[in-house]
Structure 1
């Protein structure tokens, strides 16, 4: 008689509340879990709202929430650490001091407990020591500060989601979406997860080639470069020139090149080219448009030129990239 396939044990997930945390992501995660449980239909994930203790927690520009249990008593299989608002990356001492109770609580969790975090919520996780020797990602604009302070972490800032085994991290203020998409997709059947995606209108994440990763609009702290990125995205690829871009921003080419290099570590021409190729990659993975149409819409001089530039950057043809990443 063939063995009976057992139903996986429900995951007990603690949503961690701490002073100053941004609660929107936690509410969104609760919605995703509720949809997954309804679609299964079985208990895929059990949620508990936890805190360092059970005292009311004042969230960032949101409601004061009351944890139902303290983290040390939650008996959670996994803990989700939400992001927090940071005004600057130049001084992490003050927020780390305020986050010390959270850091200590994470450090004291059993080694078997999985910890998930996104955006700047990775900061207390790194401070707890749970990321030592582990691959992880975080918000792009914290890159230099985190690399300097937590040298033993295997930082992968060009990846939106990094699974380090016992830790799962995601980049960006909305990192809870790809993070939970990764986690739930592992616990649901393909058709169940597809229905949850359609119900919640979730974006289809795809693994970005490392050479195409880099600054998104929300991660650029330089206002001039935020405007520059939008101009580049909206301009035909064949017409992009540094002097013209600088003119639209009312600065010299030299000033713009210095700002790009300081913020991204890239030459201005390379940065502009990467932005356009990132748009190509997104179009390849998020649509079924033929390559010729993508080339026309993004303003490349020819389909052949797009293929040549894409292959130089990634080592892959656009069609091979679509097959691998879509």
Structure 2
């Protein structure tokens, strides 16, 4: 049996307990594919953002043995100062020198500040919690920050937004490493969705006043049941009993993306599920999910994930076998 992929989680003072346990909870739901271990910069107990400390079994030497290193997020200092200065504090820098070249790096939320301060995000796309976007940009102008997404996969460096977006990222890692079947199984065990559509924009506090109407949720639910139909914005607006302009504005405010883009995302999600779980011809799948032709499905899927329907099916049906 091949050696389990070793994941070292680095806990820094002020660490958020929920996110600290996230790699073990998600990756550990795969029956031995990953070995998840936790360390601190000096091997000592770590103060959390709550009213307790955590004892860790390992010091920074663990980082030299890891295939993937995860930087867990931590709370800003009590005076609401920026989470970290542009240069790493020496204890963290010393720990980072233990990481082998080629190790996959992952950050959750404010953990991106550590990667950026280490110079590992210069010239690369990344994300962090939307509330930290302004200080992040000010401290690290060389980073191509996108605060609108749940996570960014840039190959050997991956960053995620706040809190639960770490779940999205680790399920994405599972899907990348071992295919959708294993990722979906882990998601079911953890009682979380295997993926979420939209980005951080749907969670950002907005000054737009809320009304007593039900919003666009019912229209979205209706659209999901009618994806096979040639839906347009007017259909959804009519179902929500709103004008086109009001519906488009409310939809974007609630979901974080436009109605048209959301429909495409839902159709692609349904198509990917059918490609993984059925033997339906590509033409038939296109019709089932509301694309006018198989060519349209191919174009949209390639634009979204860079592969054709046949290539996607070969990859993920093989992963299920």
Q: TM-score, normalised by structure 1?
A: 0.65
Which region of structure 1 is more displaced relative to structure 2, 315-324 or 53-62? 315-324
Give the conservation status (yes or no) of the 8 Å contact 1:138–1:170: yes
Please provide the CA RMSD for this pair. 3.8
- Indicate the SS of the match to 1:214: helix
1:324 partnered with 2:268: yes
1:231 partnered with 2:225: no
Give the conservation status (yes or no) of the 8 Å contact 1:140–1:215: no
Aligned to 1:132: 122
Residues 56-78 of structure 1, C-alpha deviation per residue, up to 9 Å, x if partnerless? Answer: 21212153222222223440111
The CA deviation at 1:321 is 3.9
Aligned to 2:53: 64
Change (3 A) 1:106 1:230: farther
Gaps of 5+ in 2: 271-321
Change (3 A) 1:294 1:126: same
Change (3 A) 1:318 1:128: closer
The CA deviation at 1:128 is 1.1
- Indicate the SS of the match to 1:202: coil
1:214 partnered with 2:201: yes
Residue 159 (structure 1) aligned to one of 138, 149, 156 = 149
Residue 122 (structure 1) aligned to one of 112, 115, 124 = 112
Give the conservation status (yes or no) of the 8 Å contact 2:8–2:62: no
Residue 82 (structure 1) aligned to one of 72, 78, 84 = 72
Give the distance between the partners of 1:79 and 1:153, measured in 2 at CA: 20
The aligned length equals: 259
Change (3 A) 1:319 1:121: closer
The CA deviation at 1:104 is 4.1
Give the conservation status (yes or no) of the 8 Å contact 2:183–2:194: no
1:1-326 map, 5 Å: 9-37=3-31, 43-74=32-63, 75-86=65-76, 91-92=81-82, 100-106=90-96, 108-206=98-196, 208=198, 214=201, 216-217=203-204, 220=205, 225=206, 228=207, 231=210, 235=213, 287-288=224-225, 295=237, 298-301=240-243, 316=260, 319-325=263-269
Give the conservation status (yes or no) of the 8 Å contact 1:55–1:67: yes
The CA deviation at 1:166 is 1.7
Which region of structure 1 is more displaced relative to structure 2, 158-167 or 108-117? 108-117
Gaps of 5+ in 1: 1-6, 38-42, 238-275
Give the conservation status (yes or no) of the 8 Å contact 1:11–1:44: yes
Q: Which aligned segments of 4 or more residues in structure 1 are displaced greater than 3 angstroms?
A: 87-91, 93-100, 234-237, 279-285, 287-299, 313-321
The CA deviation at 1:284 is 8.5
Give the conservation status (yes or no) of the 8 Å contact 1:119–1:173: yes
Q: TM-score, normalised by structure 2?
A: 0.66
